[in-house]
Amino acid sequence: MPEENKRAPKEGGERPAGRRPSGKSFNKTPGDKRLGGNRNDKFGKTGNQGGNRPPFRGKDGAPGQRRERRADSAPEGERRAPEEKAWQKSEYRPNSGDHARRNENNNRFGGNRGRFSDKKPAFGGNDRRPRGDAPRRDGAPTPVRRAPKPEAKPVPKIAPSDGMASRRLAYEVLTLVINHGAYASLALDEKLRESTIPAVDRRLAARLVYDTLDSLSYLDFALSHVMARPDDSDQKLMNVLRLAACQILLEDRIPESAATNTAVQLCKEIGLEGLAGVCNGILRNLLRDVENIPWPDRKEEPVRYLSVLNSVPEWLVERYIEDWGEENAAAMLGVRAHNKAVTIRRNLLRGSDEQFEATLAKKVWTVEKGEIPHTWNVKNALNLGEDNDFKNGEFSIQSEGSILACCALNPKRGWTVLDACAAPGGKSCLMAEMMGGTGRVQAWELHPHRTELIEAQKKRLHLENVRPMNLDAAKPRENLNQTMDAVLLDAPCTGTGDLADKPDIKLRLKEENVTELVKTQAELLDTVSAYVKEGGVLVYSTCSVLREENGRQVEAFLQRHPEFEISPLPDTVPEKWRARADETGLQLLPHVDGAGFYLCRMKRKYSV
């Protein structure tokens, strides 16, 4: 502080005009802001405002107690006290000026607490004002004037579950999927991100969505038995009834009364107050007549029986039976995704299996070692994609079939590999890791937004040898002929191997789609196979169980391209699956492997 700004106390204890007592002295040092030192740099002022003050001294020259002054005895130039003193009011006015700033600073360290507070000041408190019980001239206590506290921001609280939050969210997702053609997984993820409902309600909502979609035809068949005019029903009401019927017929842990009452309440919330009574009546009829529903007879109508029971179109049931027989068809269609484990694999460029298992041991998940090297099966994990280790690239979420396709290709260090239909990028990244970060993986994808998914995977895993490209794999590029060490074509397909995980496929898949997809697969195989060099590898895969997309597709390709031949699966594919491969490839089945997947490894022959 400049010397000219320092003011010493006058003899006899008189204070300089315009100054207020500073209370106790703490032997402050200049510039010590924490203890109320020179704050000129903080407030942009000079002088003694908030700076180093000499201790207040009494008439005898010793440090003394501040005494109240009469208003009429104030020195000239000092503000006189108002007629009505602040302490005479029941409410205290906020401080202003230098003291307001000083009190604000004190509040940061625990100062300015009420006189009856039972909490000790936090470390560093420096309340300079007289105590609240300091005597006044009239003997009454002097109230403490406190600076206004900042208004506390409300903390969002999660309301207790009343059962409606999960039903409401499930209904919204079902409406998007059934009436507007949305993808169930995407619609559900979006709604869950927007929601603040408890975890228990989130899990219930997800289960109700997938169970309702998985058994949609089954529920409609049951409801049609107890409805007077099912075909004329309001679409909103039908989705409410389907959701309630799912709880009544499929969910053992939900009371029937809860399913009925929440459905009636949901009708009122979505603007169907006039149909709430109709909804209640239909559901009560279902409860009374559930034992009398005339389900199709399996012996007399096996196709219709499997169609209604599994909510699968009859044309698709016929193809299952043709390819696999009635018993295997019934077993595959009957697979459900309840409490199904999720497969994860560690980043092969980081640490070891032992180190990753130590990381998993800190989680609250249920974890088992997978049969494929470097994989684990996880249960009871909510929002795996939000896990910090996942975000940091320590592991990836990937199905066993997808991992096996990369194992079948078995890329080597320094190879140039093409992943022709690469999104969302799991296989591209795994092959890049298997190559030890060397070589290059070209990841082609037709749609720009899906190409961005590959780029996001690459960045998350910190891979430099993956090249995402927005290219159409069906368009021939002669400059690339016989330039690739290996090509992986995970072709577009019906997705019939994933019906349990993606039940909305049943709503979208039409018989004519199969013919179109088989034609597209053949065109892609003809195009990308040209890029494989002599002795190079071509792997073809789908997530389908239909033979015309898989084995028969490969047989037709080999007839058109005699320069290729079937190649045995390498040791990177575990013996469990290698033993099941035949002359047309390896087929995974839902009731055996948890999901359906097909792959075939071929090799371009050396020219004679």
Q: What is the pLDDT of residue 126?
A: 42
Please check whether residues 478 and 598 belong to one and the same domain: yes
The whole-angstrom separation of Cα 503 and Cα 336 is 10
Pick from 109-118, 141-150, 343-352, 534-543: least confident: 109-118
Strand, coil or helix: what is 199? helix
Count structural domains, the chain: 4
Q: Tell whether 157 is covered by a domain.
A: no
Q: Among this protein's residues, is 407 annotated catalytic?
A: no
Residue 317 structure tokens: 């049931």
Please check whether residues 212 and 234 belong to one and the same domain: yes
Please check whether residues 378 and 423 belong to one and the same domain: no
Q: What is the pLDDT of residues 540-576, one digit of tens each?
A: 999 999 999 999 999 999 999 999 999 999 999 999 9
Q: Tell whether 92 is covered by a domain.
A: no
Q: What is the pLDDT of residue 172?
A: 96
**Residue 371 structural domain:** 348-397
Confidence of residue 215 (pLDDT cuts 50, 70, 90): very high
Alpha helices in 498-547 (DSSP H): 505-508, 511-528
The whole-angstrom separation of Cα 205 and Cα 398 is 24
Whether residue 30 is predicted with pLDDT greater than 90 in this model: the reply is no
Q: What is the pLDDT of residue 232?
A: 64
Label residues 117-150 b or e (16+ Cβ within 10 Å = b). eeeeeeeeebbbbeebeeeeeeeeebbbbbbeee
The whole-angstrom separation of Cα 82 and Cα 100 is 19
Closest listed residue to residue 518, CA positions, set 499, 540, 503, 501:
540
Whether residue 174 is predicted with pLDDT greater than 80 in this model: the reply is yes
Are 469 and 493 in contact by the 8 Å Cβ rule? The answer is no
Closest listed residue to residue 271, CA positions, set 224, 235, 242, 299:
235
210/9: higher pLDDT = 210
Domain boundary residue, one of 397, 427, 461: 397
The whole-angstrom separation of Cα 111 and Cα 103 is 8
Q: What is the pLDDT of residue 112?
A: 42
Whether residue 586 is predicted with pLDDT greater than 80 in this model: the reply is yes
Domain boundary residue, one of 359, 381, 397: 397
Identify the CATH number of the domain in which residue 487 sits.
Answer: 3.40.50.150
Please check whether residues 196 and 284 belong to one and the same domain: yes
Average pLDDT over residues 499-519: 95
Whether residue 423 is predicted with pLDDT greater than 90 in this model: the reply is yes
Whether residue 7 is predicted with pLDDT greater than 50 in this model: the reply is no
Please check whether residues 388 and 458 belong to one and the same domain: no
Are 394 and 347 in contact by the 8 Å Cβ rule? The answer is yes
Whether residue 66 is predicted with pLDDT greater than 80 in this model: the reply is no
Q: Tell whether 136 is covered by a domain.
A: no
Burial of 553: CB neighbours in 10 Å, binned 0-12, 13-18, 19+: buried
Q: Tell whether 282 is covered by a domain.
A: yes
Q: Tell whether 142 is covered by a domain.
A: no
352 alpha carbon, distance to own chain's centre:
27
Please check whether residues 566 and 436 belong to one and the same domain: yes
Alpha helices in 215-275 (DSSP H): 216-226, 235-249, 256-269
Q: What is the DSSP letter of 538?
A: E
Please check whether residues 523 and 439 belong to one and the same domain: yes
364/557: higher pLDDT = 557
State yes or no: cis peptide before 424, omega within 30 of 0: yes
Q: Tell whether 111 is covered by a domain.
A: no
Whether residue 111 is predicted with pLDDT greater than 90 in this model: the reply is no
Whether residue 157 is predicted with pLDDT greater than 80 in this model: the reply is no
Confidence of residue 458 (pLDDT cuts 50, 70, 90): very high
Are 143 and 92 in contact by the 8 Å Cβ rule? The answer is yes
Confidence of residue 141 (pLDDT cuts 50, 70, 90): low
Which residue in the block uniquely carries the two structure tokens 């249960």? 379
Confidence of residue 340 (pLDDT cuts 50, 70, 90): confident
Please check whether residues 411 and 518 belong to one and the same domain: yes
Closest listed residue to residue 501, CA positions, set 566, 597, 587:
597
Q: Which of 279, 407, 421, 543 is catalytic?
A: 543
Whether residue 43 is predicted with pLDDT greater than 70 in this model: the reply is no
Query: Bridge-partner residues for 344, per DSSP?
Result: 376, 397
Burial of 497: CB neighbours in 10 Å, binned 0-12, 13-18, 19+: buried
Q: Tell whether 128 is covered by a domain.
A: no
Average pLDDT over residues 117-135: 42
Beta-carbon count within 10 A of 8 CB: 7
Q: What is the pLDDT of residues 251-286, one digit of tens each?
A: 888 999 999 999 999 999 999 999 999 999 999 999
Whether residue 38 is predicted with pLDDT greater than 80 in this model: the reply is no
Please check whether residues 365 and 269 belong to one and the same domain: no
The whole-angstrom separation of Cα 517 and Cα 509 is 11
Q: What is the DSSP letter of 527?
A: H
Q: What is the mean pLDDT of the chain?
A: 81
Domain boundary residue, one of 381, 397, 413: 397
Whether residue 502 is predicted with pLDDT greater than 80 in this model: the reply is yes
The whole-angstrom separation of Cα 531 and Cα 488 is 11
Whether residue 99 is predicted with pLDDT greater than 70 in this model: the reply is no
Closest listed residue to residue 594, CA positions, set 453, 498, 472, 466:
498
Please check whether residues 391 and 421 belong to one and the same domain: no
Please check whether residues 184 and 284 belong to one and the same domain: yes
Please check whether residues 489 and 381 belong to one and the same domain: no
